[in-house]
Amino acid sequence: MSNDRLTTLLDEYADLEKRMEDPSIHADQALVRRIGRRFAELAPLNTAHQELEAARADLAAARELAAEDPSFASEVEAVAAVLPALEEKLGEMLMPRDPNDAKDVIVEIKAGEGGQESALFASDLLRMYSRYAERRGWIVEVIDSQESDLGGVKDISVAVKTKGVPEGGHGVWSRMKWEGGVHRVQRVPVTESQGRIHTSAAGVLVLPEAEDVEIHIEPGDLRIDVYRSSGPGGQSVNTTDSAVRITHLPTGTVVSCQNEKSQLQNKESAMRILRSRLLAQAQEAADAVAGDARKAQVRTVDRSERVRTYNFPQNRITDHRIGYTAYNLDLVLGGELDGVLDALAEADRAARLAGDTELTRR
């Protein structure tokens, strides 16, 4: 256990506690949110440390009593028996964690191979995540969407947010970061008259939502184009040029939004997505320098990598990264994602304890 790291984090916790008691910080709500999230993230560590120190004090007291009266020897053994578990718990908390775990996310779902069937599957994924968010008490906000002719979605971006400060610093990213990649479906499409099983896919990108202070964008680095919004089949759905396309010239990153009726609202939505994409790119570059392949994979979401298969005939879901298979596809699509997400989180925890950084590429 790193005593220096423990001391540093406990000092940070105490400092944050004092800052939260200062009425002057409440004039800056963004600052209040950042401090609150970090405080909530460190609170379990502080509690675990207090529990361990209390157990150590109890052990010292029991030993003093046993020195005077041997009948207290069993109490010494009982108190000493709980120390290893408390030390292990605190040691795990001291391991470096994903700095984005407390963040909200932006989820982008894009139809891929399979035409209309892929768009319908993309809408199924959106429904699955929306129902999972509802179970967790999260808020889902549609930022931009393009529907297909049959009621599916070609491309959709949604923000998924916690209500208030996430408990223990476990925000939406801490759960949803596993979802990035290619999701493959095997089923009989509604458009298939012969009853044959088809395979199609949709891509999912999960980005930690960036705050203004994290990513500074120079206005001169942006090219902003406006155009008329279009709906399924390409028909115009607006009589004004309210859709916005923003190009970040230094990186070539392009973001388009047309969901809102006003040009200003679409620009604000596009900037939210752009900031999050640029934050992900910056973190990817930092991880590459540090040689951390696991984090780079999670953040960049290589769309060529198939992460999960949804097999309707067998009611089976398979996560290929960890070899997870369950025959409850109907429940998973209904929002019961905790089984597979818990398995991914546990596999990641085991890999980190073993010093393995390549978990999700297996």
User: pLDDT tens, 25-67?
Assistant: 888 887 888 888 889 889 999 999 999 999 999 999 999 988 8
Helix, strand, or coil (residue 287) = helix
What is the number of residues in the chain? 362
**Residue 256 tokens, joined:** 């388009």
Instruction: Give the whole-angstrom CA distance, residue 285 versus residue 317.
Output: 33
Helix, strand, or coil (residue 271) = helix
Q: What is the dihedral of CA 174, 319, 116, 245, to 10 degrees?
A: 30
Residue 299 has pLDDT above 80, yes or no: no
Share of the chain above pLDDT 70, in %: 88
Q: Flag the least confident range among 129-133, 261-265, 283-287.
A: 283-287
The per-residue pLDDT for 350 is 84
**Residue 69 tokens, joined:** 């009266």
134-190 residue pLDDT tens: 999 999 999 988 888 888 999 999 999 998 878 777 899 999 999 999 999 999 987
Query: Residues near 241 by Cβ (< 8 Å), separated by ≥ 6?
Result: 226, 227, 228, 263
The per-residue pLDDT for 322 is 93
The per-residue pLDDT for 349 is 83
Place of tokens 């009425």: 23
Question: Do 236 and 229 contact (CB within 8 A), yes or no?
Answer: yes
305-344 residue pLDDT tens: 689 999 999 999 999 999 999 999 999 999 999 999 999 9
Q: What is the dihedral of CA 284, 287, 288, 290, to 10 degrees?
A: 170
Q: How many CA atoms lie within 13 A of 120 on its CB side?
A: 16
Could you tell me the CA-to-CA distances from 217 to 21, 28, 77, 247, 248 in Å, in that order?
Answer: 33, 21, 60, 12, 9
Residue 2 has pLDDT above 80, yes or no: no
Question: Do 142 and 156 contact (CB within 8 A), yes or no?
Answer: yes
200-258 residue pLDDT tens: 999 999 999 887 667 889 999 999 999 887 765 445 455 567 899 999 999 999 999 98
Give CA 194 to chain center in angstroms.
Answer: 40
The per-residue pLDDT for 240 is 65
Instruction: Indicate the angle between helix axes 293-300 and 263-290, nearest 10 degrees.
Output: 160
Residue 12 has pLDDT above 80, yes or no: yes
Q: Which helix (H) or strand (E) holds 254?
A: strand 253-257
Residue 360 has pLDDT above 50, yes or no: no
Instruction: Give the whole-angstrom CA distance, residue 79 versus residue 162.
Output: 39
Instruction: Give the whole-angstrom CA distance, residue 120 versus residue 153.
Output: 6
The per-residue pLDDT for 238 is 53
Instruction: Give the whole-angstrom CA distance, residue 173 versus residue 160.
Output: 9
The per-residue pLDDT for 356 is 54
Residue 197: name the closest of 332, 80, 311, 110 by CA: 311
174-206 residue pLDDT tens: 999 999 999 999 999 877 767 789 899 999 999
Question: Do 105 and 159 contact (CB within 8 A), yes or no?
Answer: yes
The per-residue pLDDT for 298 is 35
